[in-house]
Every structure is written in C-alpha cells, then in structure tokens.
C-alpha cells in the first residue's frame, strides 16, 4: 500500500487503486520506505548522479549508525535497514541501474511492505534523487503527483507504478553553465570533490532530516 499524505490516501496493490480522504485514515499506523537512487559499480561511486544513494548512506549514519545494510535478494540489487523505533525502512540501489529503478524497487517495496507492515497499516514512499534544476547545496521535497522532470530513475518508477503518487526528495546538483547535452552528461557523471561531500553532510543532511521529520516521528 503506497500512499500520499497530502489530502488523500492512495493504496496500490498490483496496479489497483483505492482513494479516500486523509482524515479517514490519519489514525492508522504509518510506515515509510525512503529510497536512494543511483547507479552500481565503483565507477559511479560519489558521482553527482548517485546523490540519492549518498544521502541514503548519510541518513543511515545519522539514524542507524550501529546497524548494517542488509542485502536484498539473490542478485543484491538493493540494500536496506529497518528503523523499528521510527517505522522507517531505508533502502538504496546497489545493483540495478538508474534507468531501471522501477524494475528494481517495486518488487523490493512490495516485499518489504508485506514483511514489515501490519495489515491495517499505510506505507509512504519517498524517493531521493539527484536534481539538475535545484542548486547544489539545496534540498527540496516534492509532493505526490509532481512531475519527474525528465529524471530517468523517477520516470521508470512512475511508469512501473502507473502514476506519480510518491514523494520525491531532490538533492540539488545544479546545472553546468553550458546547456550542451554532452556537458550535462559529463556534469552528472562527474564526482563530488571533498568540499562538496562536506556540504552534502553538513548542509544537505540537516535539511533532509528537517524535510523528512513528518515521516520519522
């Protein structure tokens, strides 16, 4: 059951939808799956395109320092950590590619939901991604129903879900000065330098925690 907190509840079960006023379900038990998008393999480690995975790692360090990531499935396409005291599951990409994020995460979300959510519960999905349209050092939380803005990972998730009813947490990476497509690709696949990594931890992480506070209670 994947839902939106903004004025309605949306339950998804194999493509089926149920809708109702948020007021009717606000007393129900909520669980949140927070997912960081990225690409696998060492060549993509610390790249701007992997900002979602990097933020998931920072969140885990902040919220579950003593816990270890758990590999999901035989192919180890993702890893997750269950924060029992906060009813939150942190999840990050470790094996699937960005443009196959929906194919990677929908089965994982459903499996984790079945395993950890009570029958009368509601599950929220928050997807963390790198955003060219947000300046570096800034973080934005977009409500369910908002556009994917061309982000391949978000597009694949929306296509597999059949809708846009999930939260999108944008980690700003900014745009290069030149709009040439190859320059944009080079920018997205370039690695954060040490100063930028410090900004992610010292500035972006606190803002991310502030924006996620309603989900972490």
Measured N-to-C along each axis, helices 205-216 and 51-63 cross at an angle, to the nearest 10 degrees, of 70
Verify whether residue 163 is a known catalytic residue: no
Of the listed 49, 116, 151, 187, which one is catalytic? 49
Q: Which two tokens stand for residue 184?
A: 């944009």
57-66, long-range: CB < 8 A, 24+ apart: 57/92, 58/200, 58/201, 58/204, 58/205, 58/208, 59/34, 59/90, 59/205, 59/208, 59/209, 59/212, 60/90, 62/205, 62/209, 63/88, 63/90, 63/216, 64/90
Report the catalytic residues. 49
């Amino acid at each position: 059951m994947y839902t939106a907190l903004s004025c309605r509840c949306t339950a998804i079960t194999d493509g089926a939808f149920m809708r109702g006023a948020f007021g009717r379900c606000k007393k129900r038990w909520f669980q949140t799956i927070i997912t960081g998008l990225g690409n696998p393999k060492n060549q993509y480690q610390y790249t701007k395109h992997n900002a979602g995975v990097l933020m998931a790692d920072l969140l885990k360090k902040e919220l579950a320092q003593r816990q270890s990531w758990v590999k999901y499935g035989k192919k180890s396409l993702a890893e997750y950590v269950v924060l029992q005291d906060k009813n939150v599951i942190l999840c990050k990409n470790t094996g699937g590619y960005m443009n196959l994020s929906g194919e990677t995460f929908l089965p994982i979300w459903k499996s984790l939901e079945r395993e950890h959510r009570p029958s009368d519960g509601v599950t929220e999905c928050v997807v963390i991604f790198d955003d060219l349209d947000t300046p570096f050092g800034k973080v934005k939380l977009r409500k369910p129903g908002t556009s994917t803005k061309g982000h391949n990972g978000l597009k694949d998730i929306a296509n597999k879900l059949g809708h846009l009813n999930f939260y999108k947490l944008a980690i700003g990476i900014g745009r290069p000065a030149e709009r040439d497509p190859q320059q944009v690709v080079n920018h997205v696949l370039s690695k954060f330098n040490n100063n930028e990594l410090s900004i992610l931890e010292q500035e972006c992480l606190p803002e991310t925690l502030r924006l996620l506070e309603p989900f972490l209670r």
